[in-house]
Amino acid sequence: MLDEALGRGLRPDDPPDAELDGWDLFGAVAARRARGAGAGADVGRACGAGAG
């Protein structure tokens, strides 16, 4: 989510006057994860999910 928000111009060090609706990011984040791109794509594997 953060990668997508930053890509859309979010600057945590300089918050905007208007709110950013996180729901608008879900479609793009889902597509990014499906492509295997972006930070956190392999978090489950890195944490041992599915092992055993």
At 32, list the tokens.
């990014």
Given this model, what pLDDT does residue 46 score? 44
Cα–Cα distance between 12 and 14 in angstroms, integer?
A: 5
pLDDT tens digits, 1-52: 888 888 888 887 887 677 778 888 888 888 888 988 655 544 444 444 444 4
Four-CA torsion 21, 23, 26, 27, nearest 10 degrees: -100
Q: In the prediction, which pLDDT does 2 show?
A: 85
Largest CA distance in the chain: 48
Give alpha helix (H) positions in the chain. Answer: 2-7, 26-35, 43-46
Report field, pTM of the whole predicted structure over 0.95: no
